[in-house]
Amino acid sequence: MNSSRRDLVAQLLLSTALAAMPRVAAAASGAAPSSIDDKLAPYAYEDTRRLIRLVEDAAALIEKKGAAAYRDFAVKGSRWFRDNHYLFAYTLDSTCVFHAQQPALMGRNLASLTDMNGKPVIRYITDIGRQPQPDASGWVFYLWEESTQLIPAWKGSYIRKAAMPDGTIVTIGSGLYDLKVEKIFVENAVDRAAALIAAEGPAKAFRAFQDRASPFVFLDVYVFAMDDKAHTLVDPAYPTFAGRDLSSFEDAVGVHVIDEALQKLATADSAWTQYLWPLPGNGALSRKLMYVRKVEADGQIIIVGSDFFLATPIWMKV
């Protein structure tokens, strides 16, 4: 993707306040910081919660000790640096000030670093540090080259804004490969997509949804858009089949998924629906969750949504 296209995506996202995880960050500028329990509450999976605790505790140590905390983070075998878990930190100008795994990156400005899709990873990381909340936090997802794998893999990093005792703002983070898709990831992406449509109009928003360098594509999840008659407007799964009629779409046991979602939206602004679908590669039935939200723009109702496979067993309540 060329630089002008990347700039357009960045401007569109910034114009909607980046919305980096509204249910995770502190409520408003000047408000009391969120408790760790508040930040963990939306997450179902223990590996996600463990990563958040690690980064939140690291941020607290930076806020107490400043750059001296980096010495603790660099100790191999410690809580901060073991196996595939390590911490990294950037100043708001995208300079790497700490990287446990690749210390050679320290001191370098990495604003131009992108993932395999052209996503400006470091820019998205530092954008979280520009949010007004003192404990702002959020997620950045990127398709990364992993030396031990044959093909690039998705990685998700939890990022936390932290202020050192001297007032310097940094973003501290850590990431995981094969991160399970959480409901809150999808809900926030769809809510952000609806906000972008309302703020910038469908045309600009739809371009962002289809851009693999945008935050709307992550962990093999994407955002779609359709009209209130279930005709697709943005359909990343079938980009050459514009205008598909999904009104009669059924899951593996005959549930009319889209019709059910539209019925729920008749009395609400957003809705979740669950259905069964074969897992890619093995055909076993698994649960998918779909989240949809309606938004009005240019005199029409637009439905934006996304879905994902649950990582929990089919019998487990969600």
Walk along the chain (318 residues) and give the pLDDT tens digit of each residue.
444 444 444 444 443 333 344 333 333 344 566 789 999 999 999 999 999 999 999 999 999 999 999 999 999 999 999 988 999 999 999 999 999 999 999 999 999 999 999 999 999 999 999 999 999 999 999 999 876 667 889 999 999 999 999 999 999 999 999 899 999 999 999 999 999 999 999 999 999 999 999 999 999 899 999 999 999 999 988 888 878 999 999 999 999 999 999 999 999 999 999 999 999 888 889 999 999 999 999 999 999 999 999 987 665 666
What's the topology of domain 185-309? Beta-Lactamase (3.30.450)
Question: Is it true that domain 3-177 has CATH number 3.30.450.20?
Answer: yes
Q: What SS3 class is residue 220?
A: coil
| DSSP single-letter state for residue 186 | H
- Every domain of the chain and the residues it spans: 3-177, 185-309
Query: pTM for the full model?
Result: 0.87
Alpha helices by DSSP H, listed for the chain, are 3-15, 36-40, 46-65, 69-73, 121-129, 183-200, 202-210, 257-265
Q: Residue 142 — φ and ψ, nearest 5°?
A: -150, 150
Cα 268-312-35 angle, rounded to 5 deg: 65
The 3-state DSSP class for residue 184 equals helix
CA-to-CA dists, residue 236 to 12, 14, 152, angstroms: 19, 23, 20
Q: Do the domains at 3-177 and 185-309 have one common CATH topology?
A: yes
